Every structure is written in structure tokens, then in C-alpha cells.
Amino acid sequence: MARNIAIFDTTLRDGEQAPGYSMNLEQKVRFAKQLELLKVDVIEAGFAIASPGDFESVKAISSVIEHSTVASLSRALTKDIDRAWQAVKDAKKPRIHTFIATSRLHLQYKLKMSEIDAFNQAVSMVKYARNLAPEVEFSAEDATRSDRDYLCKVVEAVIKSGATIVNIPDTVGYTTPEEFGSLISYIMNNVPNIDKAKVAVHCHNDLGLAVANTLAGLAAGASQAECTMLGIGERAGNASIEELVMAIRTRNEIYDFSYNLDTTQLYNTARLLSNITTVPIAPNKAIVGANAFAHESGIHQHGMLANSLTYEIMTPSSIGLKKNTMVLGKHSGQHAFNHRMKELGYTLDANMSTKLFNDFKNIADKKKEITDRDLIALMESGTQLGPQIYELDNFVVNSGNLMTATACVTLRRNNKKMQAVEMATGPVYACFKAVERIIKQSYVLEDYQLRAVTEHRDALGEVLVKISNVHGVFRGRGVSTDVIEASLLSLISAVNRMIDVSESQTDDKENISLAGRKAKEWISLSEEELLRDMKVSGTVQEEVTMGESHGISK
């Protein structure tokens, strides 16, 4: 019988830890609900002690998730474990996930601990956690560079102390499939009580081997795979859920595993993550990239028409990707609009439905046929969960090859209108200068990308911008039939995120969350970076004190 593999999603912890992927509480809760629709077995919702914001997110997710287990990460310290438990205890199925390094390199240089001390700490903290939680997962950080026999001793001892899941992470993405498969086999054969716990694997993608290593670990006996949507995570990221599960599904004769995940939710989940983080999906991304199911060349098309199996190893519908059909026009009513949105996997509340329907009508006036991809783009830009501080009221641009471009832009903030006129070498640049003048804050434009949503001549234009200032990097997305308008909408959404963070510094209440954010960043910084950062900001330091600010890149 096929062995069941549990899918442990850490997009909201390991993924969110990666630079440029941070999410607010509302976004995390929304993504967690989608993970439940995807039927992942475990949602690692965050690292509760890292910041007040992390704690609140884990707690909020614990209160809304019905079926999946909700876990919080914690170092092997009582105060971390207490905080993790406080955050997950109201979940229907709570889990504490605690970790300590087992490699000599980490113990000697990072924790300055002996192997014996680390062993004792692991045992006592697993016991402590198990007194609180029904499920305790223990991770041996940097397991793939640890001494095998020492690792086996730690695994045996933590299982004896109550760990129900033992995770073997390739923290630095160093191992290879053969080596990792042999390590998992070694553990399965040399830990006498290994049948009392589930073995998990957690692989990083520094050498592009995360999914291959995970598959090798599962083949050797592991039964929980830790991964993230789109493979986001520290550095080069983690094993990607969509690649792992579709490899198991497509090559089931090799990987004789069953899983509970609903693969038809993969496409929607990937789009939602890209929408929330405004980081686009690479066109050639396996499984969910725009080109993954495009068979462009003439030879391929001929083969596909004769028999789709010639070039297609899996069907678009297996990941929930629907045909791009032309469905709606300007005479379509709100009912038809809502109905199609529902078919595309979006449930809209009354406010959102009215707002999006108005956006849809505006576009339908300019563009005859609205396709599913247009609707998805509309949905994604219309429901950006970022703050709504400034809104576009109107704009006029003049541009041509015999003149300097000018832009007159009017924005609204709290119903107050503000206008600015600027000249520049091009119309987009002139608009951006006008926005900068209105908001009275400068920033660096790091990236600007314009693309058509569909192939047709009247396609919607989608613009993604990335801006930065001293507070960080902020992204925005905008969609319109007019590329200048799409550019402005995209810039305004990025600027709103930037202002939300900048202004929170002067607001006492908000300061707490900024303190948290700062503390959280510190955790993943090296000591040198940490000192540099302290010199620059010289500010808040909550909960996570410097001596302990190590080693969260499990």
C-alpha cells in the first residue's frame, strides 16, 4: 500500500523570513486559509517569539484553521516554547516545533556549546514542550553536516522524551540526493525507536536540489515533507510544494506515496502568494509558470493536436489551471461576473464584489471581450491587501517625440485632493515625479516591469514596480488598459506600503510592531550585520536579545 506523506507548509515561516516576502497579519491569515483549501497537513504559521507581530499572526491563524495542524517554531529555550504554546494552544491541532543545531560547526561557532550540552538541552526542552503540547516536532539544525552517530543518539533521545516528529533539515542546501537518501536510511536503520515517531525532511535549494533531495529522503523512509509555495525561503529558498507533489503524482510508479493535498488548488495558491507579495512568478517556473503548459513551437502544436500525451506529461486541469476563455463583455451583469469569479476560485464579499464589478465595467467599456486572465489580473490588483493611504483621482499626460513629457497627477488622501505637475523625458517618469512631489518622500525606483496580461492587441497592461527607502523594499502592482494608468496605480500601491511603514515610526502604537519587525530581522542577520544595524538604528530591541539572536535559518 502506498505510504502516506504529510505535507508541512512553511511558507509563512521560512518563506516569509526571506527578504522582500514579508506579509502583514491580514495577508498571512488569508494565505493560511488558502493553504487549508489546498489541504496541506501542517501549516507552520510563524515563529512566535520573533516579534509581537509574529505572535499575533500565529494566534490568529490558530483560531481560524479547522483541519490542518498549526505549528509555531521555537528555539530550544523555555521562554520560546512558552511563547509558541501561547500562540498555538487554541488551534484545533496545535504543534510546537523546537530546534537546536547538531553540527560541530554550529555548536562550536554559533551556540558555543558542547555536543553533550546540546544533547541535554534538546532532551529537556522536548520534555518541557511535550508537557504543554500533544504534538512536538524536533529539528536537528544543520543535520546534513552533523556526525551521523551523534545525530542518531539525539534523535533516539528526543523520541524517548516525547517528540512525535523528528525533522532532518539540510539547513544550508549542501547535500545531494544520494547522500541525503543514505543519511535518512542510516537514521531509519540505526535509531532503535524510530518507529515511534514520524521522520521529516526539510531541504534548502542552494544547489537547486531541494526537491530532488526531498524525494530521496521520502524514498528512504521519511514521511513528512517540509516545503513552501513557489519554493520561497531563506537564500535560494526551500523545496517547492507544487514541484514535489506533482513529481509524486506524475511519477507515482516510482514514488509510491499517497498524500492528502488537493493539487487542483496549486495554481490558485501560487497566484495568491504572488499577489500578496507582488513578486511575479517566473514564466519558466515549473508547474505554475506562464510557460509551463504553453506548447508554442509548430512541431509541438502538431503533436499536441494529434495526441496531447506527445508533449504534455500532466494536464493543466490537474493543477487547477483553466482554459483562457472569452467569457464576459460590457453587457454582462454583476450576477454573471460573480458566478465566473466563483468558478475561478474567488469568493467575494458584497463590498469587494461591487468594487471589482465597477472596475470590470470600466474595462469592459474600453475592451470588448474580457477573458479569465483579465478577470484574474483585475482581481489581483483590486484586492491587494496593502494599505489604502493615497488613491489616484485623475491624471493627464502630454507626450510626443517633439516635446518634453508633462504629467498632471491628482491623488486623494482622506478625501483631500492634492495635485502636482511635472516634466520629464518620458510620460511615466513625469507621472512618477508628480507622485513624489505630492507625497513629499523620496525613494529609489529599483525595478519597473510592464507586461501584457493576454496576447490580444487590446490586452490589459500590468505593471510591477519595486521601490526602496531606508525602511526597506516595497512592491506594487497595477492593471489597466492604459499603461500609464497601470504604472501610476502600481507606484501608488508601493508608495502606500512605504508610507505605512515610515509613518508608523512616529506613531507610538505602531512602534511596537516596528520594534517587532526589527527584532525579527535581527534574528536572521549575522552578528556583524547585527552590530552594524544597531549602530545605524540604535533603537528598539524586544524579546530577542543579542546573545540569542543566532541561528534561525533552520
Residues that bind Zn ion (CB under 5 A): 14, 554
Where b means 16+ CB within 10 Å and e means fewer, 287-297 reads: bbbeebbebee
Whole-angstrom distance, CA of residue 120 vs CA of residue 140: 13
Q: Strand 444-452 and strand 416-424: pairing?
A: unpaired
**Choice between 10 and 265, CB closer to Zn ion:** 10
Task: Kindly report the number of other CB atoms within 10 A of residue 385's CB atom.
Answer: 14
Considering the complex, state which of residue 215 and residue 479 has its C-beta at the smaller distance from Zn ion: 215
Q: 106 vs 554, which CB is nearer to Zn ion?
A: 554
Q: Are strands 405-413 and 416-424 parallel, antiparallel or unpaired?
A: antiparallel
| Closest residue to Zn ion using C-beta atoms | 14
Q: How big is the CA angle at 36 (ends 18 and 336), to the nearest 5 degrees?
A: 105
Q: Judged by CB, which is closer to Zn ion: 95, or 554?
A: 554
Residue type, 217: G
* C-alpha distances out from residue 274 to 65, 217, 233, 268, 464, Å: 22, 29, 14, 10, 11
Q: Is 326 left (phi over 0), alpha (psi -120 to 50) or beta?
A: beta
Q: Which is nearer to Zn ion, 497 or 554 (CB)?
A: 554
The three grid cell numbers given for residue 427, joined into one nine-digit string = 510620460
Closest to Zn ion by CB, 14 vs 485, is: 14
Taking phi over 0 as left and psi of -120 to 50 as alpha, with beta for the rest, 409 belongs to: beta
Compare residues 172 and 348 and give the one whose CB is closer to Zn ion. Answer: 172
Q: Which is nearer to Zn ion, 146 or 513 (CB)?
A: 146
Angle at 464 between CA 462 and CA 467, to 5 degrees: 155
Smallest separation (angstroms) from Zn ion to the CB of 247: 20
With cell 490588483, the residue in question is 381
Q: Measured between alpha carbons, how far is 49 from 60 in angstroms, rounded to an integer?
A: 15
First to last CA, the chain: 33
- Amino acid found at 161: S
